[in-house]
Amino acid sequence: MVIKLISHRLTCWEGSSVGCAVVCIFCVSLSLFLCVSVILSCLLYDGHWYPKENMFSFQTATTTMQANFRKHLRMVGSRRMKAQTFAERRAKSFNRSWSDPTPVKQDSLQDSKDSGDLQASCATLEDGGCDDMDWEEEREMERAACEGDDFIPPKVMLISSKVPKAEYVPNIIRRDDPSIIPILYDHEHATFDDILEEIEKRLTSYRRGCKIWRMLIFCQGGPGHLYLLKNKVATFAKVEKEEDMSQFWKRLSRFMSKVNPEPNLIHIMGCYVLGNPNGEKLFQKLKNLMRPYSVTFESPLELSAQGKEMIEMYFDFRLYRLWKTRQHSKLLDYEDLL
């Protein structure tokens, strides 16, 4: 009977004109109400009525949707916060040249720059360095050793075995310059003392009493750091914190020339230390450690004009390009570099 009534109402609505639109809408509403009643009556199962709380209602649906939406917002917000914190940590890690937990106060850095002369000179005196008398005596001894028109100031090359194909580097140096002294050291097992002893021995064999005017350190590293030895990464913070590393640069300074009218030059090759501001801080720290000796650090890009000038100072440019193109290849033949 109900179905017949619904059918009658729908037929009435379909055959009605525009004038009875209100009546037809009322008929449809009534039909839908009766249809819902029929559906509810069909929910009887074995004479039992389903509990009301198990039935779907618009109120519970709205509450569920709101809860899910609030959960979604919390998840999105959590992901956003995690992304922000990760971005901040990543930015901080890129600003630092190496994973170094050593805290460095900005005030101390500024003070070290402002009073670098005083601190370095005091440290040199405390370590048994040269006072005015010793400085003058050593300079006169060096000047006497450098007498003669045939004297060429030595250029020392420190080559780390960590550099790919480092064993071929002594074969590509300039052959028309006998002042270049290549020193290939073992990155894995050598110590700072071993390097300094080898420098002293090679300088003595070149000419007793002479000092370094130019120096090239060919090693691995990156923006703001130098990978000199195994587990010995030189950053401006580690150089200040680790005693053996700071002593290495202080003792190295005593091999630098005192009679050079220009600042002694140390080139860094194999890595671009000045890739971020920490590279400048590292060079400034090393200059302070090596005072009162006048030393300048440079780390130009190899593809720049300064880099080409640096390469031509130590290497046969043609052989260097050949070595560079095959540095990471297994096709490098020793005969090609002869």
Tell me the CB-side half-sphere exposure of residue 32, using CA atoms within 13 A. 7
Q: Please tell me the distance from the alpha carbon of residue 199 to that of residue 67, in angstroms, as a whole number.
A: 74
Alpha helices, DSSP H, located in 96-159: 106-114, 116-126, 132-145
Choice among 11-25, 112-126, 269-283, 305-319 with the minimum mean pLDDT: 112-126
pLDDT score at 336: 57
- The model carries a pTM of 0.61
Higher pLDDT, 134 or 129: 134
Tell me, what's the pLDDT at 216? 95
**29 pLDDT band (50/70/90 cuts)?**
low
Q: Lowest-pLDDT range, 175-189, 204-218, 319-333?
A: 319-333
Q: Position 240: which residue type?
A: E
Joined together, the tokens standing for residue 26 give 């009322």
193, pLDDT greater than 90: yes
Residue 229 CB neighbour total at 10 angstroms: 24
CA distance from start to end of the chain? 109
Please tell me the least confidently modeled range out of 124-128, 213-217, 244-248, 258-262.
Answer: 124-128
Task: Decide if 218 contacts 160 (C-beta within 8 A).
Answer: yes
Residue whose pair of structure tokens reads 């998840």 in the numeric block: 75
pLDDT over threshold 80, residue 311: yes
Indicate whether 80 pLDDT > 70: no
Write down the pLDDT at residue 310. 94
Q: State yes or no: pLDDT of 246 exceeds 60.
A: yes
